[in-house]
Structure 1
Amino acid sequence: MKFMGTNELREAYLRFFESKEHLRLESFPLVPKNDKSLLLINAGMAPLKPYFTGLQEPPRKRITTCQKCIRTGDIENVGKTSRHGTFFEMLGNFSFGDYFKEEIIPWAWEFITETLQIPKDKLYVTIYLEDDEAFDIWCKKTDVDPNRIFRLGKDDNFWEIGVGPCGPCTEIHFDRGEGVITNVDDFIKAADEDRVVEFWNLVFTQFDKDEEGNYNRLSNPNIDTGMGLERIATIMQGVDNIFEIDTVKNILNKVSELSGVKYGADSQKDISLRIITDHVKSVTMLISDGVQPSNEGRGYVLRRLLRRAARHGRLLGIKGLFLTDIVESVVENYGLAYPNLKENKEYIEKIVSLEEERFNETIDSGMNILNDYIEEMEASKEKTLKGEKAFKLYDTYGFPIELTEEILEEKGMKVDHDSFKKEMEEQRQRARSARGESSYMGSDESPINKIEASINTEFVGYSNLDVSSKVIILANDNEFVDELSKGEKGYIVTEKTPFYAEMGGQVGDKGIIKTASGEAYVYDTKKNVGGKTIHYVKVNEGSIKINEEANLKIDFARRSNIEKNHTATHMLHEALKQVVGKHVNQAGSYVDDERLRFDFTHFASLSEEEINTLEDLVNRKIMEVFNVNTNLMTLDEAKESGAMALFDDKYGDKVRVVSVGEFSKELCGGTHVRNSGEIGLFKIISEAGVAAGIRRIEAVTGINAIKYMEEKQRLLKEACNALKCNEKDVLKKISSQNAEIKEKEKEIAELKSKLTSGVEDDIINSAKEINGVKVVAYSVDGIDGNALRDLGDKVRNKLSSGVVVLFSNVAGKVNLIAMSTKDVLDKGVHCGKIIKEVASIVGGGGGGRPDMAQAGGKNPQNIKDAIEKTYSVVEYLVK
């Protein structure tokens, strides 16, 4: 058996199935398209589900891919076992109603024994126990020894997920051990002990399981196979751990080099080395496919993996930022297979660096919070940290539970694990509830998501805005119908349409569909889960009937404004590259008839000068009245022509390139103006950050830009009237008034200081002694939070020993501060507990440390009662 590198194996597999007339597709992005059932792509067949379900026509009946996948269900086992990883690649070949068992079984055997040259005496095959057809093909069309074929039950060799397409499968296994396995029981035992490793699963999707549990034969059965690239690489490279195959080991060696920790010398440190290796690989792939760090969804998966890697770097003793060095190694080893890694390397590294910096800051913030918790526990003689506090550290501050446990252990303390797990489970339940129940494709079960793949609507709306066509499908939310009557809402599908369906950031068209028997208002146009154009309608007059001829007319004025904004986003994109830098890439957009929103990759806010330069550049190009042209070409031709493409998008054989003169050239399926002059005017109305490394510009064009400028002019006139000056003197007048306000504020602060210094003795003289502790509870009006804290410090220092609780009524709001000297903490004094009880009397809340706490309230009329409550709370604490 010859050694084969991971990249060599990937190419050998894809080339083999290309020789069997399969269309090789690049890996789909890790972010699912039109599939709400998945957070991230987790299997080779996942992006192809629309083809298996018949919702879309595949580009060819035979397809082969090497699909990037992410699974985090077993994240706790990553690094601890030889096979668990969050990122993996799945080799697959698929047939959509074309070939079946008679073809794939001998092809699989050919690839394994001839291309890979795996010895036949190292291979075993399993089949579903009732699948005599598969057994006969294995015996008659390959030279496998029949004694090496074992029949297993449904749990092992039958693929199904609830109702729908399903079928038996056959799996191919490699034997790492010596001797021949002669019976099923010994085979199962060998598999459980990891002597026998399954590496290729051939699924024969030949049934459709209905609600009653019946398995109905499919007229066009499918083939869905999956071979884990990392797993077959371990076999071909003679290793028993996915972290020791060539590409992954190269990354692990980089981690080892940076940490100074030798792999294999310490089993505990090996776990950290493997976790960092795996997680940074996943992080790199996720960011390359457009995922951004966040606190929810796939962004949270990314953030969790990145922080987990950073945490294990600390455990290995790595100082400072280091993850970008690992990213570089990932790109080196995977850039050949996935070129967008190289194209976006700088961007990926910047996102990772920013997130790692942020994590280091949160670790420090978390340490401060944890230290406060420890102080409270020591003061109250507690040994167990409440689960909700540990969860808050984990969830709010990104503080790993392992780190919390480690620090507490040093203090002889621990975490309440049961309540921590309860909080975690409640969070999962909330996440599940937020996702809701979904179907196979994650879509709702509306009839419009069950339209057959053979039904298509021709979009003619690039050039025709008013067309005649035939109504071919009518539906409401519950079923397909033959008629929609006045007042009813529903869905219409026609043979042709000028209505653009929402896509690529551009909203769907609105307008009118009219037949001889009625008229319907189209209030939205969208694609269903199978990519069919659906008109969302409400019938205004009469009724719309199936098979009627209809006139479809879009709202031209609205479309015109949308087109202005859409073309302006292309021009803005190019302007950003010229003004801000070539690293800028589109990270999302939204275009409607009122404004445009453009998200882009950049790591700092734009200066006023940059914003003005952008506006000026776009407006100058608008006034040059460039023709806007569209051309169909191959993706390679488009890239060679200099057209920009989104790095997380999947493109077909032919792409549409939109050019604004020689200024901008971009891949786009949307609608645009005929020439740039139609845009009229471009005005940026805001620029802000929306995520780590992502900025957002909002802008308006045409008549909306003019209205925006008119509103600004009106506001400026009103400001001039209020300031009693002309436009050119506005800034001077505001500056003058600000100076006067600052001077007055200074005078007020000085007066407040004199007022408070005069009452210090009165406050101290009001002290009462409670169980041997001096307690001051006093109200002073008109003093803000900062001045109240200063006064509290002065009183506490003069008091030398005791508790100070001060109240202040400022404009109908209550400020509270509680402070104590260190010596009374041992007697049971806890300012956080005092303030919590007292604040409730004045209609507020707050908390803090044992020696200092603060709060606010909204009921100043209750301050007197709160003062009395102070004494009783201290009496309760000091026993």
Structure 2
Amino acid sequence: MMKSMGANEIREAYLRFFESKNHLRLDSFSLVPKDDNSLLLINAGMAPLKPYFTGIKTPPRNRMTTCQKCIRTGDIENVGKTSRHGTFFEMLGNFSFGDYFKKEAIIWGWEFVTEVLKISKDRLYVTIYLDDDEAYDYWVNNTDIEPGRIFRLGKEDNFWEIGEGPCGPSSEIHYDRIGHKVNTVEEFLEASDKDQIIEFWNLVFTQFDKDSEGNYNRLPNPNIDTGMGLERIATIMQGVNNIFEIDTVKNILNKISDIAGVSYGASSKSDISLRIITDHTKGFTMLISDGVLPSNEGRGYVLRRLLRRAARHGRLLGIKEAFLTKVVESVIENYQGAYPELKEKKDYILKVVSIEEAKFNETIDSGMMILNDYINEMEEKNEKVLPGEKAFKLYDTYGFPLELTQEILEEKSMSLNVEDFNKEMEEQRNRARSARGESNYMGSEDGIINKIDKDLNTSFVGYDHLKGESQIAVISSGLEDFSDKISAGEEGFIITLDTPFYAEMGGQVGDRGYITSDKGKAQVVDCKKNASGKIIHLVKMLEGSFSVEDKVLLTVDSDRRSNICKNHTATHLLHKALKDVLGDHVNQAGSYVGEDRLRFDFTHFSSLTIEELTKIEKIVNTEIMKAYEVATEEMTLTEAKEAGAMALFNEKYSDKVRVVSAGCYSKELCGGTHVRNSGEIGLFKILSETGVAAGVRRIEALTGFNAIEYIENKLSLLSNAADIIKSNEKDFVNKLNNLVSELKDKEKEIHELKQKMVSGLEEEILNSAEEVNGIKFISYKLEDIDTNSLRELAEKLRDKGGDILVLLAGTSEDKVSFVAMASKNLVSRGVHCGKIIKEVAAVAGGGGGGRPDMAQAGGKLPNKAQEAIDKLKSLLKSIIN
């Protein structure tokens, strides 16, 4: 009899089952792909394992199993409207990298489904690829499925491939929800189309390599890649109709129902909103926990879109106040067992959501103002259809939901051009695809640098030595192919069996230096790792030549490395100081550690005050001056966490980790190079603190002699400034304040004099009034007048002139300002200052606008000012006519 199992129970049962089959169980990888430009977000269980499938990296074990967090947004418009669409889902998978193949995958799949889940065999069907007799034989001879329950389908259903590269047939396991026997392929397909029979587990047999000519070549080491949607199998195990009714998801949905005071099932409209909020909150909670922050592009845009759609549907349910943090708490409660990082980062996640929801509520209000302007403009022109590009601007720039735009337009008996909106949307998708770049099936790079034998490993000895002898293992001259030799004048890369050169990683730049022997000399211009972690020396050959198997001496630029070490250890002290001053929500979000400076990005939601920056800088310098020993030790990840070591916000670590400690103050997981004693850093000086993204701040700083040189330059600047104002440095600030005060007084006097001059012109300007078809107007140009004075004068002239339109231009050296004002009576006759000033300013190379009774504008061509205001007469004629 089939068990009734909760989603968390199913997940654990699956992973334990494959652990019992000697699979390495790994935690879910981050939703943010690592070293893979082909994906915006992880969308399948096998996606993070691409390097193992392609052979670029050696897997920690040839059998692995995971439950992978995934996000897909291609069908976001269908989420909530159907029973199966969701943006966030979990994919159970077991994988073989050249180890077991079809037989074991099929036997274990059947064993898990029938013996662990105890799904009745008379409810199960299997499909295989049309020509896959091997899979058919294994199903028939190694399981007890009835042969009549196996159906052969074509490439569209049971063959997995994407362009060139690894591919192969698949076998799927299906569940009969109705309990009726089907006997033919046609009956099976018909029942599947009606969702009476649903697929829940796909076993992919990657056995071919498709070449550019379309040939399917046998892989020497075929792979297994299976995927079973946790939500899908949970609906079967719990006997519910859709993924929103399984236990963990329903708990979240019920929370939203309580907040909104709306019962699930009361109406299809409210049910859609409840499902959308449930799904989207899961998605954006998981994204934030993996280090993604709201923005207007890339992953941040996906996050922002999910969060704002959820907030919008809360309004549709009648929720007036901010509510998403309450839903997030329910997500964390239901998923923290499988994903403990949710609990660890709970406060941080809630903070991000709270800020973004508040921003969205402001956006709704500002979006309403813009949409109302569009509607007023349409009413004036007697138009009924809002252009698609305007709706898209509201949607894309201001985050204003499309459905809200449509609803408001419908209330006004208007609509929008959906076709043009969709064109704009497609152009944006194309831009996003271009930004991700192109890649092949596995998202791997095919360059020569990633075709190095995966069994070749370079031993890094640079923690303890800056010089060492080794043997050349690989040479590439020109970076296009492997070669046996590299000669003077050529550029390429060299790989040795051992190296003291640190390869760029973890924000720290690669080492530079020289490779020498009695045969030649090469300059190492950079040191990097390829996709599989091989240490690559990028070189310029200066003298002679090197050949494979030559013995060489590798020498790191020690002064440069010393400066890099100072900056790297300083980032650790800075990280800890930021937490001490700002709070535990601070996490590293990126860094740059070079020879000349350091840059540290961190999660925080507001700019730092001068007092906070001063305090942080003082803490770091205090810890430097304590001259701590900087110790390094290797331990297990569990031991490191128990010891209180800080880990990077979004990094996956191996079982053995390197822990760097600066005395008792800082303890952090790190593979970089550091000073031996904190005192070697000498001095730490913050240069700047800025925002780089929503919720991410950046500090740039200097250490050592670079910091000393910076301070010396500042002192020299201060000394020169003191000389200029004829003051000593002690009295510099007082003298400067006095000068500024005197300058303000002079500016005030000048302004008052200008006001008197302008007032004296009032009568002259009023006397210059003209009339066109009964409309009295003034157009007048003034020299060297500021905008405020121009506006004050226009207001006085309008008040004194009765029913009058006033247009003034004020010029300065490089610009012109325009102000237009009209009496209420003239506005009622069709005069619109905003429209008039827009056309006037265009003559002077500018623009502007405003209300019918008052408007302002600017221009870049002051020599065109008179020509611009002279246009008023012809404009008034056209208005009256």
Classify the TM-score, shorter chain: over 0.9
Query: 2:531: which partner in 1?
Result: 529
Amino acid at match of 1:493: I
C-alpha distance in 2, partners of 1:86/1:23? 28
C-alpha distance in 2, partners of 1:852/1:487? 70
- Residues 633, 127 of structure 1: alpha-carbon distance in 2 compared, 3 angstrom cutoff: same
Contact 2:818-2:857 at 8 Å conserved across structures: yes
Amino acid at match of 2:283: S
Query: 1:790: which partner in 2?
Result: 792
Contact 2:171-2:203 at 8 Å conserved across structures: yes
- Residues 824, 121 of structure 1: alpha-carbon distance in 2 compared, 3 angstrom cutoff: farther
Per-residue displacement from partner, 1:694-746 (whole Å, max 9, x unpaired)?
22222111111111111111111012112211112122112222222222333
Contact 1:441-1:529 at 8 Å conserved across structures: no
The DSSP-based 3-state class of the residue aligned with 2:188 is helix
C-alpha distance in 1, partners of 2:138/2:511? 54
Given the alignment, which residue of 808, 814, 817 partners 1:815? 817
Contact 1:376-1:849 at 8 Å conserved across structures: no
Contact 2:164-2:440 at 8 Å conserved across structures: no
Measure how far apart 1:306 and its partner are: 1.1
Given the alignment, which residue of 748, 751, 766 partners 2:750? 748
Contact 1:584-1:602 at 8 Å conserved across structures: yes
Unaligned runs of 5+ in 2: none
Give the 5 Å matches for 1:194-233: 194-233=195-234
Query: 1:112: which partner in 2?
Result: 113
Per-residue displacement from partner, 1:323-345 (whole Å, max 9, x unpaired)?
11111111100111111100110
C-alpha distance in 2, partners of 1:802/1:743? 36
Contact 2:37-2:437 at 8 Å conserved across structures: no
Q: Which stretch of structure 1 is more off in the superposition, 429-438 or 313-322?
A: 429-438
C-alpha distance in 1, partners of 2:197/2:795? 72
C-alpha distance in 2, partners of 1:369/1:741? 42
TM-score (ref. length: structure 1): 0.97
Query: 2:692: which partner in 1?
Result: 690
Measure how far apart 1:614 and its partner are: 2.1
- Residues 368, 483 of structure 1: alpha-carbon distance in 2 compared, 3 angstrom cutoff: same
- Residues 511, 406 of structure 1: alpha-carbon distance in 2 compared, 3 angstrom cutoff: same
Amino acid at match of 1:662: C
The DSSP-based 3-state class of the residue aligned with 2:43 is coil
Measure how far apart 1:825 and its partner are: 5.3
Amino acid at match of 1:394: Y
Query: 1:615: which partner in 2?
Result: 617
Per-residue displacement from partner, 1:800-843 (whole Å, max 9, x unpaired)?
54543321102331112334455555655444443333223212
Measure how far apart 1:858 and its partner are: 1.9
Is 1:555 the counterpart of 2:566? The answer is no
C-alpha distance in 2, partners of 1:341/1:213? 45
Query: 1:680: which partner in 2?
Result: 682
C-alpha distance in 1, partners of 2:132/2:587? 52
Is 1:513 the counterpart of 2:515? The answer is yes
Query: 2:170: which partner in 1?
Result: 169
C-alpha distance in 2, partners of 1:229/1:558? 51
Given the alignment, which residue of 629, 632, 636 partners 1:630? 632
C-alpha distance in 2, partners of 1:821/1:70? 59
Contact 1:363-1:399 at 8 Å conserved across structures: yes
The DSSP-based 3-state class of the residue aligned with 2:225 is strand
Given the alignment, which residue of 700, 703, 722 partners 1:701? 703
Is 1:186 the counterpart of 2:187? The answer is yes
Per-residue displacement from partner, 1:469-510 (whole Å, max 9, x unpaired)?
222222234322333333332222222211111111111111
- Residues 234, 772 of structure 1: alpha-carbon distance in 2 compared, 3 angstrom cutoff: farther
Query: 2:27: which partner in 1?
Result: 26
- Residues 463, 640 of structure 1: alpha-carbon distance in 2 compared, 3 angstrom cutoff: same
Query: 2:56: which partner in 1?
Result: 55
Query: 1:600: which partner in 2?
Result: 602
Query: 1:478: which partner in 2?
Result: 480
Per-residue displacement from partner, 1:294-325 (whole Å, max 9, x unpaired)?
11111111111111111111111211211111
Is 1:136 the counterpart of 2:137? The answer is yes
Contact 2:203-2:225 at 8 Å conserved across structures: yes
Query: 1:500: which partner in 2?
Result: 502
Query: 2:413: which partner in 1?
Result: 412
Is 1:36 the counterpart of 2:37? The answer is yes
The DSSP-based 3-state class of the residue aligned with 1:725 is coil
- Residues 771, 489 of structure 1: alpha-carbon distance in 2 compared, 3 angstrom cutoff: farther
C-alpha distance in 2, partners of 1:405/1:849? 27
Query: Aligned pair count?
Result: 879
Query: 2:317: which partner in 1?
Result: 316
Q: Which stretch of structure 1 is more off in the superposition, 255-264 or 665-674?
A: 255-264
Query: 1:242: which partner in 2?
Result: 243
TM-score (ref. length: structure 2): 0.97
Q: Which stretch of structure 1 is more off in the superposition, 411-420 or 239-248?
A: 411-420
Contact 1:25-1:63 at 8 Å conserved across structures: yes
C-alpha distance in 1, partners of 2:5/2:538? 54
Measure how far apart 1:623 and its partner are: 1.9
C-alpha distance in 2, partners of 1:540/1:194? 69
Contact 2:522-2:543 at 8 Å conserved across structures: yes
Query: 1:856: which partner in 2?
Result: 858
C-alpha distance in 2, partners of 1:499/1:402? 57
Per-residue displacement from partner, 1:657-680 (whole Å, max 9, x unpaired)?
111111111100101111111111
Amino acid at match of 1:132: D
Per-residue displacement from partner, 1:636-670 (whole Å, max 9, x unpaired)?
01111111112311011101111111111110010
The DSSP-based 3-state class of the residue aligned with 2:205 is strand
The DSSP-based 3-state class of the residue aligned with 1:218 is strand
- Residues 795, 657 of structure 1: alpha-carbon distance in 2 compared, 3 angstrom cutoff: same
Q: Which stretch of structure 1 is more off in the superposition, 796-805 or 653-662?
A: 796-805
C-alpha distance in 2, partners of 1:141/1:759? 104
Amino acid at match of 1:219: P
Give the 5 Å matches for 1:378-777: 378-442=379-443, 444-475=445-476, 476-777=478-779
C-alpha distance in 2, partners of 1:800/1:222? 88
Q: Which stretch of structure 1 is more off in the superposition, 69-78 or 443-452?
A: 443-452
The DSSP-based 3-state class of the residue aligned with 1:423 is helix
Q: Which stretch of structure 1 is more off in the superposition, 377-386 or 170-179?
A: 377-386
Contact 1:379-1:828 at 8 Å conserved across structures: no
Is 1:90 the counterpart of 2:96? The answer is no
Contact 1:836-1:845 at 8 Å conserved across structures: yes
- Residues 842, 100 of structure 1: alpha-carbon distance in 2 compared, 3 angstrom cutoff: same
Q: Which stretch of structure 1 is more off in the superposition, 500-509 or 132-141?
A: 500-509
Contact 1:379-1:825 at 8 Å conserved across structures: no
Q: Which stretch of structure 1 is more off in the superposition, 550-559 or 531-540?
A: 531-540
Q: Which stretch of structure 1 is more off in the superposition, 335-344 or 484-493?
A: 484-493
Contact 1:90-1:229 at 8 Å conserved across structures: yes
Identity of aligned residues (%): 67
Contact 2:281-2:327 at 8 Å conserved across structures: yes
Contact 1:583-1:602 at 8 Å conserved across structures: yes
Contact 2:165-2:440 at 8 Å conserved across structures: no
Query: 2:343: which partner in 1?
Result: 342
Query: 1:45: which partner in 2?
Result: 46
Query: 2:4: which partner in 1?
Result: 3
Contact 1:101-1:204 at 8 Å conserved across structures: yes
C-alpha distance in 2, partners of 1:793/1:257? 56
- Residues 538, 824 of structure 1: alpha-carbon distance in 2 compared, 3 angstrom cutoff: farther
Amino acid at match of 1:583: H
Given the alignment, which residue of 842, 845, 856 partners 1:843? 845
Contact 1:602-1:693 at 8 Å conserved across structures: yes
C-alpha distance in 1, partners of 2:272/2:549? 65
Q: Which stretch of structure 1 is more off in the superposition, 605-614 or 125-134?
A: 605-614
C-alpha distance in 1, partners of 2:439/2:774? 65
C-alpha distance in 2, partners of 1:771/1:486? 87
The DSSP-based 3-state class of the residue aligned with 2:56 is coil
Measure how far apart 1:771 and its partner are: 4.7
Per-residue displacement from partner, 1:321-378 (whole Å, max 9, x unpaired)?
1111111111100111111100110001101111111111222222222222222222
Measure how far apart 1:798 and its partner are: 4.4
Contact 2:164-2:441 at 8 Å conserved across structures: no
Amino acid at match of 1:70: I
Contact 2:578-2:616 at 8 Å conserved across structures: yes
Q: Which stretch of structure 1 is more off in the superposition, 598-607 or 289-298?
A: 598-607
Amino acid at match of 1:311: R
C-alpha distance in 1, partners of 2:286/2:688? 31
